[in-house]
Amino acid sequence: MNGGGDHGINGNSRSQWPDDVGIIDMEIYFPSQFVDQSELETFTGVSAGRNTKGLGQLRMGFCDDREDVASLCLTVVDKLMTRTGTSYSNIGRLEVGTESLIDKSKSVKTVIMQLFEESGNSDVEGVTSTNACYGGTAALFNSVDWIESSSCDGRLAMVVCADIAVYEPGPARPTGGVGAVAMLIGPNASIVLERGLRASRFAHNYDFYKPDLTSPYPIVDGQLSVKCYLQSLDKCYGLYKQKAFKKNGKKVDLSSFDAILFHSPYCKLVQKSFARLSFNDFKANPDNFTDTLQSSFAQIELEDSYFNKDVEKSFMDASKMTFESKTEPSLLIAKNVGNMYTPSLYGGLVSFIVSHESVESLVGKRVALFSYGSGSASSFFSIRVKEHVSMLHQQLKADVPSRLKARTKISPDEYDKTMKLVEDTHKLAPYQPIGSLKNLFPATWYLDTVDEKYRRKYLKTPL
């Protein structure tokens, strides 16, 4: 696919909304190494099944000192632009969503501009959006709005989401992961955002945050984080329903969507979140549910039920088959790579696309997405899959499962040593990374050196 042609816009003479604005094409990157979660359970001495059954995780991707957030971005953008044949001169906006900052001032976006130098295109708007796992969604909304605005000059936008999720040794460490997603944004798209149908909630919380700039690790209040996530889901879903009814006079419930995708800190929370939407539907219309549920839970309010285990279990049971149909297929990457922070939701979108055997079964699907970033920021929005998705479906289905299988399993002991290396060296200057280049996939950008002024140099492994 070439980034011009049918996807261009006449920005000067446009008198109406451009048609079908959304994701034209997308690419995902995850590192070549992973640790097995069941082996990690044994290594850390937790009970068997704690990570696998309890969290719903199978494998966790990680990287050593050869990769950082900028190298992830370089890799995934290079991969997308090369595969699609898009010219760098046809990009008018580039925005990055990340919380894995390597500089308090210099935007990660500016590092990616190295890839634009040969084209001579430096007229590229956008910087980096940061708010925990929500930054990628902010970048997506900003880019869609730019395409629809008078500022757009006929070129495409690009959104890049990239993060390295690492935790200090302890119960949160198995919820790490790493990855990047890049998306080309424009009209006549493969995946169209439904205009006027998104709802958000922003609040002030200390559920997960990174105030210590000398440490790669966050401060996490696990129980509060779950409450903030579910509370935001309630508020966004309720407001989305109101907006949808006002817009088209139709009531919304889980049957309104062919699939529902979630930001995935860990997969078990996604299943609980799906059950939470079912409970929301129950509160809106109890008559659609069994007499047992009505007699047991009709008097329980949403805000009083975040840690009500009876509500959680009952609605997980009641929604189990629907969850397996509408959400579980989107968890392929989340289960096998882990929490990627800003790319997590969009890794779910990639997984959803890959889960379809044929493009015919994918075209026309209506999908809801929930994005959450601690602190907190959240949105619930919806998309439709269009016939242009054929090439994207073909490419991702041929590439993603095989790349997952091509990774190398690393022992928990080596993984632990790697995390210690990253912790000890992530702010050193000058620094010469010691990770083996043999651990990287072909055509992966990597950190070559950090000089005495903290300036980072990146190179690429051969094809």
Q: Give the catalytic positions in this structure.
A: 99, 133, 263
Phi/psi at 124 (5° precision): -130, 110
Reduced to 3 states, what is the DSSP secondary structure of residue 59?
Answer: strand
Beta carbons of 415 and 40 less than 8 angstroms apart: yes
Provide the CA 64 distance to its chain's centre, in angstroms. 21
- Write the CB contacts of 31 (distance below 8 Å, at least 6 apart in sequence): 61, 62, 63, 67, 178, 179, 407, 440, 441
3-state secondary structure (DSSP) of residue 244: helix
Host H or E run for residue 249 = none
Distance, in Å, from the CA atom of 160 to the CA atom of 76, rounded to the nearest integer, reads 8
- The residue assigned the tokens 């790349």 is 403
Distance CA 211, CA 101 (A): 12
**Nearest in space to 399 (alpha carbons), one of 82, 111, 184, 164:** 82
Structure tokens at 324: 């397996």
CB atoms within 10 A of CB 122: 8
Give ∠ CA 357-273-327 in degrees, rounded to 5. 5
Q: What is the strand order of the sheet 91-97 is part of?
A: 128-129, 91-97, 156-165, 177-186, 22-29, 191-202, 377-385, 366-373, 259-262
- Compute the distance between CA of residue 6 and CA of residue 453 in angstroms, rounded to an integer: 45
Which whole-number Å values give the CA distances from 12 to 143, 155, 158, 188, 407, in the listed order? 18, 12, 20, 18, 47
- Could you give the CA distance from residue 400 to residue 132 in angstroms, rounded to a whole number? 26
